[in-house]
Amino acid sequence: MAVFTSVTLDDLAQWIKQFPLGKALALEGISSGIENSNFFLTTERGEYVLTIFENLGFEQLPFYLQLMRHLAARGIPVPDPVANDQGELVVALHGKPASVVSRLDGSSQMDPQPAHCAAVGAMLAKMHLAAHDFPLSQPNLRGLDWWVATAPKVLPYLSPDNARLLTREIDYQQAFAETGNYQRLARGPVHADLFRNNVMFVGEQLSGCFDFYFAGVDTWLFDLAVTVNDWCIDLATGELDERRVAALLAAYHAVRPFTLDDRDAWQPMLRAAALRFWLSRLYDLHLPREAELLTPHDPTHFERILRERITTPPAGLPV
């Protein structure tokens, strides 16, 4: 269950008046998700999603919600936040930050085929281009600095072999971040968590993507690597599935052509993307926050992917 703060239609009767949404007619808690309380909200104007943010504060949220608004205004299929009569996208509800966004059609595709991967690749490239002139800036809060700060906290819980893997990979990524190759990569606001459960399809048609709460400024290639590491793999082994990778990359490349620097950085970025989620899953498992709500995700999945990306060079990017 993922309704940590309960809300009733009665609670919304007054609250909803600040939005141009008419009366609230129905409210249904959404059971998936581990970070926030989410509800499907029907009003006189249509279908929306109400989110109460359990961990993020009023200071951080404008970056995410304004980015969604920016992307929606440029035709990227993301939830469009609704502003209240003061122009605010984040408003208190039961003392916590809350927002109302448009509801996307469709459902997640957890067993994606090349056609789904192509749709995701094209959408991701369009999103990168559309976000390029977004005026607010916030770094990827789960980027290199966070890896360096977090690794020592989880090291005591690891086997000697895994501790060595983690330490060496962080050293490798720090050294890579110093290279001209890395520094020349295109960057801008990226989603940074575009897993299968954050994208909706109606058949093979991509209807939207959501959950921008790990978004931040990082390299476009890192975002692509995060996406490929979830959409285009054999889930049991972590190996890349050539047909799905080729479909996703070709569709991305057709919208935002790769550069020679992208090609040279592809393997390091696939490793970085695996490290990012291995580390966050280790952290959530061994050092749960006080408000941690549900069972953490399995870290060994990304340990396997990281080992695989180190030992098996990927096919080259199309350039």
Ligand X SMILES: N[C@@H](CCO)C(=O)O
Ligand Y SMILES: Nc1ncnc2c1ncn2[C@@H]1O[C@H](COP(=O)(O)OP(=O)(O)OP(=O)(O)O)[C@@H](O)[C@H]1O
Interface contacts to ligand X, rule CB under 6 A: 193, 195, 277, 280-281, 297
Q: How far is the CB of 159 from ligand Y (least distance, A)?
A: 28
Determine the 3-state secondary structure of 205 from DSSP: strand
Amino acid making up residue 288: P
Q: How far is the CB of 49 from ligand Y (least distance, A)?
A: 4
Identify whether the C-beta of residue 49 lies closer than 8 Å to the C-beta of residue 61.
no
Binders of ligand Y in range 34-53 (CB under 6 A) = 34-36, 38, 49
Count of CB atoms situated within 10 Å of the CB of 288: 11
Return all residues near 79 (Cβ < 8 A) that are at least 6 apart: 49, 68, 72, 101, 102, 103, 104, 208, 210
Q: With CB under 6 A as the contact rule, which of the stretches 28-36, 61-69, 143-151, 167-175 interacts with ligand Y?
A: 28-36
CA distances from 275 to 88, 140, 150, 165, 171 (A): 36, 14, 12, 10, 12
Ranked by CB distance to ligand Y, the top (closest) residue is 33
Q: Is there binding between residue 103 and ligand Y (CB under 6 A)?
A: yes
Q: Is there binding between residue 277 and ligand Y (CB under 6 A)?
A: no
Q: Is there binding between residue 27 and ligand Y (CB under 6 A)?
A: no
- Identity of the residue, 36 or 84, whose beta carbon is nearer to ligand Y in the bound complex: 36
Nearest-angstrom CA–CA distance, 212 and 191: 6
Nearest-angstrom CA–CA distance, 41 and 241: 39
Q: How far is the CB of 219 from ligand Y (least distance, A)?
A: 22
- Identity of the residue, 21 or 279, whose beta carbon is nearer to ligand X in the bound complex: 279
Q: How far is the CB of 317 from ligand X (least distance, A)?
A: 23
Q: What residue ranges bind ligand Y (CB under 6 A)?
A: 2, 30, 32-36, 38, 49, 79, 101, 103-104, 197, 210-211
